[in-house]
Amino acid sequence: MTSTKTKTDLLFSALLIISTLYYSFTFIDFSIPPFEDAAMIMRYSQHLANGHGIVWNIGEAPVDGATDFLFMVASAALIKLGFTVGQAVRGIGFVSHILTILIIYFTNRKIHNGNIPFSFLSGLYFVFGTGLSYVSAYFGTPFFALAAASTWTLSLLLMKRQNPSLWLILAFSLSGLITGLIRPEGVILACLMLLSIIVMRGFKNSISIIVIFGTTFLLLGGSYFLWRWDYFGYPLPNPFYKKGDGGWKWDTFWTSLGNTLRLSLPVLFAFIYAFRSKETTKLALAYLIPIIGFASAFGLVSDEMNFGARFQYATVPIALMSWIPLVGKINVEKQNQVQSQERSVVFISLIVLSATLVFYSWYQNCHLALYQQTCDRPYERDGRLEMARMLADYRDKGYVIATTEAGLLPYYSGWTAIDTWGLNDQFIAHNGKITVEYLDKYKPHIIMFHDYYSPLVPPRLTEANLAQRWFSMTILLKTYAEENGYVLAAVFGDSPYDTHYYYVRPDFEDSKRLIVQISKFRNYFYPTTGKRSINYAEYQEP
């Protein structure tokens, strides 16, 4: 009997893998370039693999701008082995996605004793979700989700076993630590899972788990923390100083809760149904702690760079591994005792339910990017990529670009880059903004920025507008360029209300050539629409 059940589980897990492969190679567009923000991590991974350390610009001090630390290190290791940057990044994400699917299925089957249809459906829901879209866009999100799923599986085992072994407790602690090493918020997630264990087991029966977990984080996690503080020169990831200032953000908090609910909406009924009894209520509350707690933690930072709700995605496998025990025993496998007509109705109902849930899961891929036009492609052709490839012809000349767009342009051009927003710049992040003195230090050869004005629609320098940090930053860049004699080569956009400015310094060897190349650039497709851009610099007053 055991052998038969094992073979059945292996069969259905194989079906999940086949479904993943079919879906990925049929419906996912792997021809797209990296999403703007994903290219930042790729730059760090490439520099680390090439022996330059964790740096934004080669030869400069280390910068902890790649918040996906362990993902960056793993990618660099694969690059070192001979894989391209794209193969390394996407390979880790793809394998992580498949492993997470299998964890969801077998956790529901082996830990919760869930039936095959519900366990399979949980895995299938994850197959068609946004995971592969993150892989396509070159994000490491599935890697973090895998760590979260592994840690939650071990948490569930600790909740169920009266006398867990030392090895199980240690495995949970190490898995939680790895989750925190992949992304810093993983520490919060692991601690929330520990709290769930305490709720289910009681404090007295959780003391050994608390001690081992705390010791692991204190010794190993503390060692890493001290190392990174010494290596980078500051205790927290660089983007935190930029995204975490200003205190609690209610708008981000509600957005995070909304994303979490949207990604796992179909299992909400199970958590509501669980309040039917004291036993299942306690279970539901314990299972909700890491989901709601983790989503709430994002009220501490801004929501920028949250492509496809990727910050909240780790809650999806947790939810899919939690709902089955909340609904109790529902036997849909043994239908021999019911009439043939009833079996047919149950079978058809399950098919319709499965199709509906799979469609809902797939439909989340229609909400990945703010300006997404179709469900099949998350973003359009991007002129910043073509421009970067043109600038790559000058990569060995020591030129500097100061830009608000710190993804595709720095990565593909290979230029020294100033991230003027500060996510990848220690001075700007800690100072709160870029300064004229800092620009003077580099004297950038190109200044490029994105904002919502143009020569046809000049910026309105009102007090309210200047109070907005992005607007005031671009005005500083614009003013600096004009006061220092930079040539406005191009203002690209398919609307004068949303543009990319390119200023070129006129006094270096290739300046005249670059001014001509940029001003005459005809393959600048605007990223929000994919349409060929107009150069509004041609319409400026003499």
pLDDT tens, residue by residue, 270-304? 999 999 888 889 999 999 999 999 999 999 888 88
Whether residue 384 has pLDDT greater than 70: yes
The per-residue pLDDT for 335 is: 47
List the strands of the sheet with 400-403, edge to edge: 416-419, 400-403, 446-451, 498-504, 487-495, 534-535
402-426 pLDDT tens trace: 999 999 999 999 999 999 999 999 9
* Closest to 131 measured CA to CA, from 355, 316, 297: 316
Whether residue 262 has pLDDT greater than 90: yes
Within 10 Å of residue 443's Cβ, how many Cβ atoms?
12
What radius of gyration, in Å, describes the C-alpha atoms of the chain? Answer: 26
Give the lowest-confidence range in 27-41, 100-114, 343-357, 511-525. Answer: 343-357
Residue 313 has which token pair? 């995605």
| pLDDT tens by residue, 308-326 | 999 999 999 999 999 999 9
- At 134-190, the pLDDT tens digits run 999 999 999 999 999 999 999 999 999 999 999 999 999 999 999 999 999 999 999
| Structure confidence at residue 498 (pLDDT) | 95
What is the mean predicted confidence (pLDDT) over 21-40? 93
Question: Of residues 10 and 353, which shows the higher confidence score?
Answer: 10
pLDDT, tens digit, for every residue of 470-488? Answer: 999 999 999 999 999 999 9
Taking CA atoms, 263 is separated from 24, 128, 322, 377, 505, in Å, by 19, 12, 15, 19, 47
- How high is the pLDDT of residue 372? 87
Residue 491's DSSP bridge partners are 501
Give the single-character DSSP code of 416. E
As a whole-number percent, the residues of the chain with pLDDT over 70 amount to: 96
Question: Tens of pLDDT along 78-118?
Answer: 999 999 999 999 999 999 999 999 999 999 999 999 999 89
Local confidence band at 342 (pLDDT 50, 70, 90 cut-offs) = low
What average pLDDT does the structure give for the chain? 92
pLDDT, tens digit, for every residue of 191-246? 999 999 999 999 999 999 999 999 999 999 999 999 999 999 988 888 888 776 66
Least confident of 91-95, 253-257, 342-346, 488-492: 342-346
pLDDT over 50 at 1, yes or no? no
